[in-house]
Every structure is written in C-alpha cells, then in structure tokens.
Amino acid sequence: MEKIKLEIVGLSYSQTQSGAYALVLSEVNGNRRLPIIIGGFEAQAIAIELEKMVPTRPLTHDLFKSFATNFAIEVKEVIVYKLVEGIFYSKLICEHNGTISEIDARTSDAIAIGVRFNCPVYTYESILASAGILLDENDIDENDFLSESIEEPSEEDIISSQTAEELENQLNQAIENEDYELASKIRDEIQRRQA
C-alpha cells in the first residue's frame, strides 16, 4: 500500500470538543486535509517544538527523544495507519543498530515525538478517503499552508503541565524576579492541586 506524505498545517482550539485541539495535517502533493482531535497537553507539546520554544524542564516527549538518542534509537517516520470509529491509530518506525521496529502510539504522541526527530508523517489513501477534507482548488493559494497559525500554549497551560516540585521552584524564581503576577498564577495552581 502506497504511503501519502503529510505535513502539519494547523493547530487550533477545537470548536466541537471542550479542552481539545484540532491538529490539521495536509497531504503534501494534494488538496486534502486530515483533522485530528488531540488533547491539550499533546497540542502544547507539538506547538512548543514547532515554535522552537524551550520549556524550563523537559516535557514527556522531550524525555522520550533524549532517551532514544542516548540509546542510539532513531525515529525514522510516523505512520497514521488505521481509523476505527473516529479514532486514529499510528505507529513510530524506529531504527536501532540497523534493525527496524514499529511502536504503536496514539497519533498525538506519535506526531509530538515525530516533530522532535524532524521525521516525515505518512498515511494511506483509505484514511484520507474516509476522513480527509477535500479543499476546492480555487480556495488554495501558494501561501495557504502558512495562513493557519499554530496557537502557542498559554502561560496557564504551561503552568498546569508542571510537576509540584517544578511549580515550587518557579514560584521562588518568580518572587525573586519580582514577577508577582506570574507568582500568583503559580500559587493558584499549587493551591488548586492541594484542594
């Protein structure tokens, strides 16, 4: 079965599901787009990497990349290979010492890891045919892929993704820097977790 290459063209807050985001993939040599609903944490992880932001501490997907790199495992590609009842299934194609392995993953995690390895994303015709959205060629211009912005994670999203220890360290640093607005947000998150 021939693979179809995809690229990320958009990441935005989902209008249909509260707390979720829509990751929009587009076929490279075509005019179909594949929208995939993902969670906020994974959307944040993808946006941070695409925007080349550096979090104060490594996110889970950064940890995976460091782990894989330290053990000479390279992620070669991501394949969105199945769609069942609205759920996309993906796998990471990895190489270690010349041996190729396939690792099953949620699509959101696979893409978040894939962007860290700068590897291509593929799918199959059957998936694009059933879940892809066909764009009218008259609606597409050469700047179309640049027109959809990737929302940067909010300060609140970043704060809520930190561990309790990281929050305490950031609170102390914010107070030391006299950034009392940030300190109050961090304090509120700590109190929310303790409630």
Residue 79: domain span: 3-152
Residues facing 25 on adjacent strands: 8, 34
Task: Check: CB of residue 121 under 8 Å from CB of residue 114.
Answer: yes
| Residue 55 DSSP SS3 | coil
**Same domain as 114, residue 166:** no
The answer to whether the Cα torsion of 39, 45, 46, 50 is positive or negative is positive
Residue 157 within a domain: no
174 plus 92 within the same structural domain: no
Domain count, the chain: 2
Same structural domain, 86 and 12 = yes
Residue 12 placed within a domain:
yes
Q: Do 15 and 86 sit in the same domain of this protein?
A: yes
pLDDT tens-digit profile, the chain (195 residues) = 799 999 999 888 766 666 788 899 999 988 899 999 998 889 889 998 988 888 888 889 999 999 999 999 999 999 999 999 889 999 999 999 999 999 999 999 999 999 999 999 999 999 999 888 887 655 544 444 433 444 455 666 667 767 788 788 888 887 877 777 777 888 888 888 887
The token pair at 84 is 């069942």
Q: What is the CATH number of the domain that holds 133?
A: 3.10.690.10
